[in-house]
Every structure is written in C-alpha cells, then in structure tokens.
Amino acid sequence: MIKESLVKTLSDQVNAEYYSAYLYLAMSAHADRAGFKGIANWLFVQAREEMAHGTHMYQHILERGGTPVFADIKVPPASFGNIKEVFEKVLSHERMVTERIHKIATLAQQEQDHATYAFITWYVNEQVEEEVAAEELVAKASLVADNPGLLYNLDTALAARTFIDPFAGNAG
Ligand SMILES: [Fe+2]
Ligand SMILES: [Fe+2]
C-alpha cells in the first residue's frame, strides 16, 4: 500500500506530465502555424510521450492501492517566439521537470517506499535524455540562427521523429 504523501506527490506529477503535454501541444500548434511542420511534428511526438508518462504514473498509483487525486490542468502560453526561443523553453521546462522528479525520488527515500523509488528511477533516467535532447536542439537552433535554408533543413530533420510508446510491452 502506497503512503498518502506519495499518492499526493505522484498525483501532482501526473498533472504536471499532462501539463507538459498541453505545453508541447501549444508549442506544436505555434510551430505548425509558422509553417514549420517538422518542428511541429517533433513537439507533437513530445506531447504524446508526456501523456504516456502521466498515464503510466497514474497506473502505478492504482496498482499500489492509492486513489489518484485530480486537479485542473494549467493553460499553457499561446506564443513562444522564434524557433530558438521555442527550444530554449523546452529546455527550461525539462530542467524544471527534472527537479520535480528528483523531489519525488527524495521523498520516496525518506518514506522508505522502495517500490516508488524503483518506479521513479525510470523517470530520473528519462530526464537525463530529455535534457540532452533539448540541449542539442537549442545548440542546433543557435547554429541555424535566422538562415532560412538551414532552418528548413532542421525542420525537415525533425519531421522524421515518430512516437514510440515508452511503456509498450510493459504491463506496469
Ligand atoms: Fe515527462
Ligand atoms: Fe519531458
């Protein structure tokens, strides 16, 4: 049976993962309207991953005998600036998420909830990947600057990203 303190913090994180999905959908729409279909695709896939993260966490709460706590999902911004600024916002958002995940890991340790600690380790590792990916995109967008040809190439490259359910084949 999972402790209430962890039900609360994991439920908050389910909400935060769905907010992340909302944020990336809003960024995707912003990129799409600006004509960057490939960048919009990358952000759309990112949004789907965030929904998978939130859903997987929700399932963990239920599996452990907890009752997930629901709350309003915050409205994301509607405008994000140029492409470099979009990716800078992705990076700063992911850094914030990393801090949240680390706090959950710390709480699981304090509560000696080894099952939640083992569960959240996947997210700790995932955040390393998320930050690396976002840092690379910020670096690429900086190199590209406002060069339309290079921006077009970056957009084309990001059109190739496809959604892979990170938890496919994993009943948990
Ligand atoms: Fe996430
Ligand atoms: Fe993320």
At 63-91, the pLDDT tens digits run 999 999 999 999 999 999 999 999 999 99
Q: How far away, in angstroms, is 132 Cα from ligand 2 center?
A: 11
Q: Which residues surround ligand 1, an ion (CB under 5 A)?
A: 17, 50, 53
Whole-model pTM: value is: 0.95
The per-residue pLDDT for range 101-149, each reduced to its tens digit, is 999 999 999 999 999 999 999 999 999 999 999 999 999 999 998 899 9
What is the number of the ligand closest to the CA of 46? 2
What is the number of the ligand closest to the CA of 101? 1
Q: How far away, in angstroms, is 17 Cα from ligand 2 center?
A: 7
Tokens of 1: 């049976």
Rounded CA-CA distance 138/115 in Å is 35
Q: How far away, in angstroms, is 130 Cα from ligand 1 center?
A: 8
Domain boundaries, the chain: 4-71+80-158
Rounded CA-CA distance 142/130 in Å is 18
**Buried (b) or exposed (e) across 122-149, using 16+ Cβ within 10 A?**
bbeebbeebbebbeebbebbeebeeeee
What is the number of the ligand closest to the CA of 92? 2
Cβ neighbours, 10 Å, residue 3: 16
The per-residue pLDDT for range 11-51, each reduced to its tens digit, is 999 999 999 999 999 999 999 999 999 999 999 999 999 99
Q: How far away, in angstroms, is 130 Cα from ligand 2 center?
A: 6
Q: How far away, in angstroms, is 125 Cα from ligand 2 center?
A: 11
CATH code of the domain made up of 4-71+80-158: 1.20.1260.10
DSSP string for residues in 104-151: HHHHHHHTT-HHHHHHHHHHHHHHHHHHHHHHHHHHHHHHHTT-HHHH
Q: How far away, in angstroms, is 17 Cα from ligand 1 center?
A: 5
Q: How far away, in angstroms, is 56 Cα from ligand 2 center?
A: 14
pLDDT at residue 170, rounded to an integer: 65
Q: How far away, in angstroms, is 121 Cα from ligand 1 center?
A: 13
